Structure 1
């Protein structure tokens, strides 16, 4: 019988009969699956002790090792288990399927000898006699990162730099004197996995203070603390009352009454019909760009950006953008594309910074973000201006792309920090 005849028969079947057919087919599938699962049953009544692994070799790497071995010829072998201490107290356990002849052990605190106990384990959870192996991991990544730490003064705080070419996930714990009890306490924690760590911590007066930084990893290991005595650089919030529109021909067309001055009116939410800056498509396509003056010459340290709350990670909220600046009294318009490298010059303009708005902290994809992601946007996002960027009197934002992939862009508020020149 061909497919056309099958279709005709199905059309002739009454709904009740079709339902019976579906139930029968579904039950058959379930029985088939159950039978397949039985072929891989995890437990066994065979309580015989399996033989141990043999011909063990070790290949060390940073913070761990890969152990290779020959499996015993036990018929009901389920997995090989490794037990080991990664420091003086913490015991880890790693398992590897009987399909493999290697097992990975990691999380060791130092580059030194550690003992690892291997057991072959049967389907009845019976362990073989132990095989003890010595590993000597290379220097753990968190220790390598600690060795490359550099702490320098920054505007309103400190800047932490370190090398992380392997892009390992590590935590930075910043320690400083707590004024309430005059004791050293952790005052800032962050987790990073970038190849080049460059992280600033702000909120401190320009007086000498003791700061310390320690590195942690995902296994709970903590490095020793690098302490420095330094004085944060003075910075101030730029006076927004001195800001003014400096509209240029290449600036985007304004849409829906969301004018440029709303970017510095101090309002970051959309409560009560509050507006920000919003572009629209004009008669001729233009860059998603806005230009304004900040009143006098400043060396910028960082800025806060509040995206449109109702748009979250979507619509016209900036995703990748470039900030250009000019120290000229009346800078001439020029082509200033988004995505340009720091220091790029175009006419009277120079790139102060090239930025990516952080991905949703939850790790969820745009369109599926949660309340925590929305709160992250509502709080405003802090962006560093590279220390070697020139001083500026004028600022231009060029939005390269948005979270919604739109041809328009919007922002609610901007705040800049730095020092007057």
Structure 2
């Protein structure tokens, strides 16, 4: 009897267990069903208007007075044959139809959908988007030889999300994108590809957007100009009267060349007391035909690793000399350029996106005019930082050029 009782108990437990499992499965199956069961389709949108833009159109409308309305759905087909669907909640009064390459007349179907996922009959809307912004980017594209590589410049006033594909031929003689392609949404594209030998490179360039639309292709041959990184151990700080002092915590000029590119406290920072501008001077150890100065800004820890903040330089000058005046004046110096740090995203002061961060982490390259003579001494004069004062902070600095 005890054995039979145990079997009954075990069987009873198994029965309860299977009932629980079945109940759970039944609950899961119903979980994706609409909470409201309403088979009546909502009324259609009305008072439809269209605003045609580059590569896209905004369709505005008036929503029906229906408390059961959940969203508006638009369906359309791109020139490539790709079927698209976008949704706008009942909080919105418009929907963006995006992804066209060429200007033309296209049809979009608009549906209203209720909380039971029942859709209305469609309204067909005709749109006339303008030519995609990627073609304007391509028409403005300029490429050419630069020190140690090549430069790529283009205008993107609409801040379209585009890729500039840099292509070379593979072993099968087909053009394929290499690792130097550029992905950006900034309005003024000014990038460089570095680390190339002084050889002839057959290259091709095309613009592509996120919908895989592409422009024509620019084919060219580029031969980079010789450039070498000047060893950091070769140059050192050369303080002059008038240069900004550092404070008593050891943030000296030697920290510009200590191979620590991001970490606190291995940075160079000037004392806040002297008024703007703040300057510092370095001795390169020999006269060099300079190509660029590269600066890695200090990521401000308190602001979420922001490179566009506080003491980092925003607008500054670079000067060159071979015989600096011992009184610290700029009379014996040649101004090589005035430079400004531009945030690629264009976002406000306290905001930044991934492109902003990646751009800064790679270091800012500041070109020296190719017509400039050789110089042994460099002086950087900070006009204004991101906080609006003259104080400056730099994580690391390197100099490039032709020392031959």
- With normalisation by structure 1, the TM-score equals 0.69
Name the residue aligned to 1:395. Answer: 378
CA positional deviation for 1:117: 1.4
1:260 is the counterpart of 2:253: yes
Name the residue aligned to 2:101. Answer: 109
Contact persistence 1:250–1:287 (CA under 8 A): no
Q: Alignment partner of 1:168: what SS?
A: coil
CA positional deviation for 1:83: 0.6
Residues 86-140 of structure 1 show CA distances to partners (whole Å, capped at 9, x for unaligned) of 3424332223345665432112232233321111223332112222333231011
Equivalent residue runs for 1:216-227 within 5 Å: 216-227=208-219
Name the residue aligned to 1:280. Answer: 271
Contact persistence 1:54–1:69 (CA under 8 A): yes
Q: Alignment partner of 1:81: what SS?
A: strand
CA positional deviation for 1:209: 0.6
Equivalent residue runs for 1:229-244 within 5 Å: 229-240=221-232, 242-244=234-236
Residues 253-296 of structure 1 show CA distances to partners (whole Å, capped at 9, x for unaligned) of 244444434534x532699x9966443357x6574321123244
Distance in 2 of aligned mates of 1:128 and 1:269:
59
Name the residue aligned to 1:294. Answer: 284
CA positional deviation for 1:395: 1.2
What RMSD, in angstroms, separates the aligned Cα atoms of the two structures? 4.4
Unaligned runs of 5+ in 2: 1-33
Name the residue aligned to 2:239. Answer: 247
Distance in 2 of aligned mates of 1:74 and 1:257:
69
Distance in 2 of aligned mates of 1:144 and 1:222:
12
Contact persistence 1:83–1:91 (CA under 8 A): yes
Equivalent residue for 2:295, pick from 275, 286, 305: 305
Distance in 2 of aligned mates of 1:179 and 1:93:
40
Distance in 1 of aligned mates of 2:43 and 2:94:
16
1:348 is the counterpart of 2:333: yes
Cα 1:96/1:369, change in 2 over 3 Å:
closer
Contact persistence 2:106–2:127 (CA under 8 A): yes
Distance in 1 of aligned mates of 2:251 and 2:64:
73
Cα 1:223/1:259, change in 2 over 3 Å:
same
Name the residue aligned to 2:398. Answer: 415
Contact persistence 1:331–1:349 (CA under 8 A): no
Name the residue aligned to 2:365. Answer: 383
Contact persistence 1:178–1:185 (CA under 8 A): no
CA positional deviation for 1:386: 5.4
Equivalent residue for 1:187, pick from 171, 175, 179: 179
Name the residue aligned to 1:135. Answer: 127
Residues 202-226 of structure 1 show CA distances to partners (whole Å, capped at 9, x for unaligned) of 1111111112222233444343432
Equivalent residue runs for 1:330-369 within 5 Å: 330-331=324-325, 348-356=333-341
Name the residue aligned to 2:319. Answer: 325
Q: Alignment partner of 1:280: what SS?
A: coil
Name the residue aligned to 2:112. Answer: 120
Name the residue aligned to 2:38. Answer: 46
Distance in 2 of aligned mates of 1:196 and 1:108:
23
Name the residue aligned to 2:148. Answer: 156
1:90 is the counterpart of 2:72: no
Q: Alignment partner of 1:188: what SS?
A: coil
Distance in 2 of aligned mates of 1:106 and 1:127:
22
- With normalisation by structure 2, the TM-score equals 0.72
Q: Alignment partner of 1:121: what SS?
A: strand
Q: Alignment partner of 1:84: what SS?
A: strand
Unaligned runs of 5+ in 1: 1-41, 337-345
Distance in 2 of aligned mates of 1:412 and 1:287:
19
Distance in 1 of aligned mates of 2:306 and 2:46:
54
Residues 343-402 of structure 1 show CA distances to partners (whole Å, capped at 9, x for unaligned) of xxx773314241428699xx9969x999x96x987x661413154673452211234555
Contact persistence 1:267–1:274 (CA under 8 A): no
Name the residue aligned to 2:11. Answer: none
CA positional deviation for 1:56: 4.5
Q: Alignment partner of 1:251: what SS?
A: coil
Contact persistence 1:313–1:403 (CA under 8 A): no
Residues 297-344 of structure 1 show CA distances to partners (whole Å, capped at 9, x for unaligned) of 4443333334557965489862425242124533576677xxxxxxxx
Equivalent residue runs for 1:65-80 within 5 Å: 65-69=57-61, 71=63, 76-80=68-72
Cα 1:263/1:329, change in 2 over 3 Å:
same
Name the residue aligned to 2:53. Answer: 61
